[in-house]
Chains A and B, each alone.
Chain A
Amino acid sequence: MKKFIERFFSFSTSDPEDTRKRRLLGILLAGTAGIALLGALSFVYFAATVNPAEVYLLLWGSALTFAVVAIVYAMNYFGSGRAAAVLFLIFLYVIFLLSDTPDQIVGGRTLFAFTIPIFMASILLTPASSFVFAGISGAVIFYLAISLGVTPNIPGIAGFFLIAFVSWLSARSLEQALNELRSINLNLDRVVAERTEALAESLAREKIEAGRNQAILNSIADGVIVFDKKWNATMANPAIKSMLDIPLQLIINKNFRELVEHPRLAPNSRVLLGSMIEHGTQPIGFRVEWGEKTLSVSAAQIYNQRREDTGTVIVFRDFTREAEVERLKSTFVGIVSHELRTPLNAILGYAEMFKEAVYGPVNEKQVNMADRIMKNTQRLLALINDLLDQAQMEAGRLTINNQTTRPAELLETMHSLMDKPAADKDLKLTSEIEDDFPDTLVGDPARLQQILVNLVGNAVKFTHRGFVHVKLFRQDERWGIEVTDSGQGIPEFEIPHIFDTFRQVDDAATREHGGFGLGLSIVKQLVGLMNGEINVTSILGEGSVFLIRFPLIIPQESPKAWRGS
């Protein structure tokens, strides 16, 4: 029933204002039809009692009203709403004119009925049309008064215009308010439409993005697992399945801890991964043992747009072959270091025995020869040591073994090794320790010794007259080694390259001084491993200064705890 009524009053036009007015007219027509129905019913009631002629008038009036209402409704529904409204208003005039005697219309009770079309016009047509209908009402009243020969009711007619004015004002403000409301609604609709479209687009984009990510993940050889904040795996690629050789169901939607507890994971690897989960720290590229395989693990935090931590992505790479190669390389380095040094030690020993005349007297030339064998063997040993150091550094196996170190002992050992080579070239080799220098500091004594001997050896090698001076100094939170010489100096353009592997300032220098040019390269790498820095200044023909600075750490324990002797 409600639906039927709604359909009865629903008019679909493109202009909402027109629709509203048609609807209003529809309601008024329904009201009019209702009044006509009441008229028809009162015919039945009055038929028996009152003068039949008048009653029939009522009946015909009702029938006519029904007919007109039907016509206006049809017009309102199918044709022009405005024309229908005009027709309806004219029909009202007709009804008012027929409903009373002319003298009552002109000056009596029905005069005010003529105000009804005026304000109806303002809401059914345009607000200003109320003035037109005030004019019509006025004209009708005026005409009737003239034809009856009475004075027209001028204040009444003026009242019509006053009502027209009020109707115009109120209808206009109503229309304005409605228009504003409509434009607000329109804007709102547009905003909603835009947002909806944007949302749909971003959803589509996300879907494409996710698809692309999945495609990338599926196609790479590295195993990838994505975890949420609680370490539950939300995503994994097929590579991880073949890498770990377990079904994806054992990974996805499971907590990482379950994977860490897997029996194929080596116990120490379990500790590594466990501490990663526990502390949330992600060391870059550590390795774990999974069954026969060595996997390199790298992890990265995932942040959302607000920079909040939302999880972790872990990439596993099959490192088995590389690990095997590394093992072979380190075995090789070990074998080389032992197998090469042992026979050289024997050569050195026999030459020395020969020189020392262990098996009987030798002449001066033979002693000289034995000396040369020893010198060359020692050179060869130094080269092997350099190459092994270089190989170890390249393999990343050379580690710094920090402990309590006595700087004075470093200098003593340096002197015991370098005093003779310096004296052989008539060079003055001196050293000093600054007054405020600590007795002990934390460092790797073997590597510091190596740095010192390499630098001094280098200085002695390239200095032909004058001196080599070593100074240990303290500078705030740092300490340093300074090696100054009065040697040939280094051309400025060569300074950036002197630490390169296998580099000497020129080929002639290599021939003259021997060596692979690994010494300074090793020094620089060792200094780097100890978090230090090295600088060189040099004046051609006057000498060079090598300056190394390390962070200064004073040992906590008492110096006596040091290995002594």
Chain B
Amino acid sequence: MNKLALIIEDDEDLANIFAEALRGIGFEVENALDGRIARDRLIDGETPFLILLDMHLPHISGKELLLKVMKKDARFAKSWIIITTADARLAEELRDQVDFAMIKPILFGQLRDLAARLRPKDEI
């Protein structure tokens, strides 16, 4: 069964690039283009193996999604959480809360190589 990746990113091009990088290594990919959609998807849908979370989102910020949704729900303890942002300060601030903090610009190969190494958390 393919691993599920949820890409929460409001820029369609970036979402597309990230999706291609992850599909290339066998992920099944879902996109959420704003904070509200992402929240609903996180609450209702299947728990993703990997969540790629942009910080700068319409309606609900990535930080809020991280702290008020994912951190409050034990289901997401099994998910790999990677935040993406252009703001190095913010990345530094949230580094302890997540598995990886990637600072934009994020290279196609960089994301692909990182995601390829991820094993299910309960197997580690």
Contact A401 B89 (CB under 8 A): yes
Taking a contact as CB atoms closer than 8 A, the residue among A337, A342, A350 that contacts B11 in the complex is A342
Are B104 and A342 touching (Cβ within 8 A)? yes
One digit per residue, 1 when the CB lies within 8 angstroms of any chain B CB and 0 when it does not, for chain A 328-352 equals: 0000000001100111111011101
Given contacts A401-B89, A563-B96, contact A356 B105 (CB under 8 A): no
Is B118 part of the binding interface, using a Cβ–Cβ cutoff of 8 Å?
no
When A and B form their complex, what is the total count of cross-chain residue pairs whose Cβ atoms lie within 8 Å?
54
CA of A356 to CA of B113 in the docked complex: distance in angstroms? 13
Contacts of B37 in A (CB 8 A): none
Contacts of B56 in A (CB 8 A): 338
Is B95 an interface residue when CB atoms closer than 8 A count as contact?
yes
Q: Complex Cα distance A278/B107, Å?
A: 53
Q: Do B104 and A349 touch across chains, with their CB atoms under 8 A apart?
A: no
Query: In the complex, which residues of chain A have a beta carbon less than 8 angstroms from the beta carbon of B14?
Result: 342, 345-346, 349
Interfacial chain B residues near A343, Cβ < 8 Å: 13
* B114: min CB distance to chain A, Å: 13
Residues facing B in A295-342 (CB within 8 A) are: 337-338, 341-342
Interface residues of A (CB under 8 A from B): 337-338, 341-346, 348-350, 352-353, 356, 358, 378, 381, 401, 446, 563
Q: In the complex the two chains form, is B104's CB within 8 Å of A341's CB?
A: yes
Q: How far is the CB of A209 from chain B (nearest CB, A)?
A: 52
Q: Is the CB of A352 within 8 A of B92?
A: no
Residue B109 lies at the interface, judged by CB distance under 8 Å to chain A: yes
A446 in contact with B88 (CB, 8 Å)? yes
Contacts of A401 in B (CB 8 A): 89, 92
In the bound complex, CA of A356 to CA of B20 (Å) = 11
Sample of 8 further A-B pairs with CB below 8 A, known A341-B104, A346-B13, A352-B17: A341-B105, A345-B105, A345-B106, A349-B13, A349-B17, A350-B13, A352-B109, A353-B17
Bound together, the chains give a CA A349 to CA B105 distance in angstroms of 9
What are the nearest 5 A-B pairs in CB distance? A349-B17, A346-B13, A352-B108, A345-B105, A341-B86
Interface residues of B in 98-120 (CB under 8 A from A): 104-109
CB-nearest residue of chain B to A450: B88
B24 interface residue (CB < 8 Å to A): yes
List, sorted by A's number, 15 A–B pairs whose CB atoms are closer than 8 Å.
Answer: A338-B56, A341-B104, A345-B11, A345-B104, A345-B105, A345-B106, A346-B11, A348-B108, A349-B17, A352-B17, A356-B108, A358-B24, A378-B105, A401-B92, A563-B95
A346 touches B86 (CB 8 A): no
In the complex the two chains form, what is the Cα distance from A499 to B52 in whole Å? 40
> Which B residue's beta carbon lies closest to that of A444?
B92
Contact B86–A342 (Cβ < 8 Å)? yes
Given contacts A342-B14, A358-B24, contact A352 B107 (CB under 8 A): yes
In the complex, the answer to whether B17 meets A446 with C-beta atoms within 8 Å is no
A5 to chain B, nearest CB (A): 100
Contacts of B87 in A (CB 8 A): 337
Q: Is the CB of A337 within 8 A of B86?
A: yes
Q: Which residue of chain B lies nearest to A346 when distances are taken between CB atoms in the complex?
A: B13
Interface-central residue, B20, B21, B87, B108, by most chain A CB under 10 Å:
B108
Q: Across the two chains, which residue of chain A brings its CB closest to B86?
A: A341
Flag if B109 contacts A356 (CB, 8 Å): yes
B108 pairs with A349, CB closer than 8 A: yes
Q: Which of B17, B88, B92, B107 contacts A346 (CB 8 A)?
A: B17
Q: Are A381 and B24 CB-contacts (below 8 A) given A338-B86, A563-B95?
A: no
* B11: chain A residues within 8 A (beta carbon): 342, 345-346
Whether A446 touches B107, Cβ cut-off 8 Å, given contacts A342-B11, A358-B24, is: no
With contacts A342-B11, A358-B24, A446-B92 taken as known, whether A349 is within 8 angstroms of B86 at the C-beta atoms is no
A residues in contact with B89, CB < 8 Å: 401
How far is B17's CA from A344's CA once the two chains are assembled, in angstroms?
12
Q: Point out which of B11, B20, B24, B86 has the most chain A C-beta atoms below 10 A from its C-beta.
A: B86
* Complex contact A349–B92 (CB within 8 A): no
- The docked-state distance in angstroms from the alpha carbon of A82 to that of B76 is 128
How many angstroms from the CA of A378 to the CA of B109 in the assembled complex? 15
Q: Which of A343, A345, A353, A378 has the most CB of B within 10 A?
A: A345
